[in-house]
Amino acid sequence: DITREEIRRTAVPGSETMEVIVTRLSVPVGATIPLHTHPGDEHAVVITPARAEAPNGNIVEFAVGTPLFFPEGQVHGGLTNVGDGPMVAITTHVVRKGVPLTELAN
């Protein structure tokens, strides 16, 4: 199963409605990240070499240090880990407080 370990959660300075959530995301071999959105921006950095299959069948290679950015509301995911080990990234979300971090896309 995909795991998301929360490392830190803190308010955005000067904001009563936004928070920053930092997590360690781990996707085991064979698992698929579902298509989803967030109630704010997501920044991520890949921390293990990874190989994934996109929904269109293309293979995507992620080197250690690859940065990723998904603005609020952008549907992303759909990648299946086809590498030799877990795909791991550190994610930073700047999102609205009190709203679920992830909403599945239809």
pLDDT in tens, 41-95: 999 999 999 999 999 999 999 999 999 999 999 999 999 999 999 999 999 999 9
Cα 99 to Cα 42, 86, 87: the distances in Å are 15, 28, 26
- 90: nearest Cα among 6, 12, 2, 31: 6
Side by side, the strands of the sheet bearing 87-96 are 3-11, 18-27, 87-96, 40-46, 67-70
Question: Which residues, 6+ apart, have CB-to-CB distance to 80 below 8 Å?
Answer: 30, 31, 32, 33, 52, 53
Tell me what pLDDT residue 106 has. 75
Q: What is the pTM of this model?
A: 0.93
